[in-house]
Amino acid sequence: MTVQQEVRAAAAQAVKGTIWGVGLGPGDPELMSVRADRLLRGASHVAYFRKAGRSGQARRIVEGMLPDGVVEIAMEYPVTTEIPLTDPRYNALLSAFYSDCTTRLQALAEAGHDVLVLAEGDPFFYGSFMHLHARLRDLVPVQVVPAITGMGAAWAATDAPITWGDDVLATLMGTLPEEVLVTQMQQADALVVMKIGRNIDKIRRALRRAGRFEAAWLVEYAAMPDQTVQRLSEAEERITPYFSIIIVHGQGRRP
């Protein structure tokens, strides 16, 4: 490569826009970081995930914060819970979806536009943005704005510390097999169980088998207007919403 070509390549790289993974926190705009708030209020392009036909939780959180004239990019999942995770079509559909989103965002960045990708909770904590980050980071500049996680808001809502002293905290997905859940629940001191929804009966059984059921709390819509907090034993037979988390507090060493 000649010196002139190197200069042109460097100049082309310099004008690329940045893809920002912006963590919005658990749902209350007042729990958003100062950096996230600043970026949102000066945004020119904002992208967010949503289910087809829905406005999307991430978009709801930033209502009233975006400037006039901002370009909104709704990325609609081709599938959510309609197909089991074990069905080969599930990964195939989502992989194609993330590839399409990557192509669209890459084109905007290469045209010099900064794009804010809204992420509920923290972008690197079980979020959809991670799949874009893995595909984009070697193509265009990518930055991540961390945030308070939903589980942090959930244990704060119970008004009790999640861990003490040397307590070991396990974060479990309700989609795991029941035997795996039981083993992890028995080994950890404190528990956070996410992705509950239609897995609630399996989770209840696992907690009972692990001897942790009576200590479990159910937090729905943590840090959102409809937040509820109750012992899981008081919510028997209920089907929980997607935005729900089960908490079991550690009881470890303390002064």
pLDDT at 26: 95
pLDDT at 81: 65
Q: State the distance between the two ends of the chain, measured CA to CA, in whole angstroms.
A: 65
Phi, psi (deg, nearest 5) at residue 10: -65, -40
pLDDT at 10: 55
User: What is the C-alpha to C-alpha distance for residues 251 and 189, in angstroms, rounded to an integer?
Assistant: 7
Phi, psi (deg, nearest 5) at residue 31: -95, 5
Phi, psi (deg, nearest 5) at residue 242: -60, -45
pLDDT at 88: 75
* DSSP-based three-state secondary structure for 84: coil
User: What is the C-alpha to C-alpha distance for residues 126 and 149, in angstroms, rounded to an integer?
Assistant: 10
Sign of CA dihedral 22, 28, 31, 37: positive
Give the chain's domains with CATH numbers: 3-148 (3.40.1010.10), 151-248 (3.30.950.10)
* DSSP-based three-state secondary structure for 31: helix
pLDDT tens-place values along the chain, 255 residues long: 565 545 455 555 557 999 999 999 999 999 999 999 999 999 999 999 999 888 899 999 999 999 999 999 999 999 776 666 677 787 899 999 999 999 999 999 999 999 999 999 999 999 999 999 999 999 999 999 999 999 999 999 999 999 999 999 999 999 999 999 999 999 999 999 999 988 999 999 999 999 999 999 999 999 999 999 999 999 877 778 777 999 999 999 999
pLDDT at 55: 87
Question: Which residues lie below 8 Å from residue 68, measured CB to CB, with a gap of 6+?
Answer: none
User: What is the C-alpha to C-alpha distance for residues 110 and 142, in angstroms, rounded to an integer?
Assistant: 12
| CB-count exposure of residue 184 (10 Å: 0-12, 13-18, 19+) | middle
Which residues are 20's β-sheet partners?
116, 143
Sign of CA dihedral 48, 63, 51, 148: positive
User: What is the C-alpha to C-alpha distance for residues 142 and 159, in angstroms, rounded to an integer?
Assistant: 36
| DSSP sequence for 185-250 | HHH-SEEEEE--GGGHHHHHHHHHHHT-GGGEEEEESTTSTT-EEEEGGGGTTPPPPSSEEEEE--
